[in-house]
Amino acid sequence: MRKYLMLLGIVLVTGTLMVISAGCGGSGTTTDTTAPAGNTTGTQGEVQTGVSVTIENFAFIPPTITIKKGGTVTWTNKDSAVHTATEDGGDFDTGDIAQNQSATLTFDEAGTFSYICTYHPNMKGTVIVK
């Protein structure tokens, strides 16, 4: 009878310890995986309302930008040649931007807009509105 009680006690203690360690391990793992994932999303999800694009050496820098809906994009031409930022389907057009001049457009619609320079169609850029 005593042996049986002792065995029962060991089983109970072992069982309790297993539950405790399982509980700690479980919550610890969850916290570890959630934190970095949340940080990554936060950094990537940061969308600016106003972004500047430099036109230099016949290129849009940076070529792809992301802004918030209702945000603005300002293109500044550093080249001596005249450039434009013109959406492929005609959704937006800055018109001519002369050297050291800027043009700012507001984007009220969400979407991905590819644009070129009408004088140099090999110049390509993308505005992503979120």
Nearer to Cu ion, 50 or 121 (CB): 121
To which residue do tokens 């940080």 refer?
39
Stretch that binds Cu ion, among 39-47, 61-69, 76-84, 96-104 (CB under 5 A): 76-84
CA angle 106, 107, 112 (to 5 degrees): 145
Nearer to Cu ion, 51 or 117 (CB): 117
Residue nearest to Cu ion (CB): 117
Nearer to Cu ion, 83 or 103 (CB): 83
Q: Give the H or E element holding residue 40.
A: helix 2-44
User: Closest separation between CB of residue 90 and Cu ion, Å?
Assistant: 17
Instruction: Spell out, one character per residue from 95 to 124, where the chain touches Cu ion: x when CB under 5 A holds, - when not.
Output: ----------------------x-xx----
Which residues, 33 to 72, sit near Cu ion by CB under 5 A?
none
Nearer to Cu ion, 6 or 98 (CB): 98
Residue 12 — φ and ψ, nearest 5°?
-65, -45
Task: State how beta strands 64-77 and 60-61 pair.
Answer: unpaired
The answer to whether 61 and 54 are in contact (CB under 8 A) is yes
Alpha carbon distance 67, 23 (integer Å): 43
Q: Which residues bind Cu ion (CB under 5 A)?
A: 83, 117, 119-120
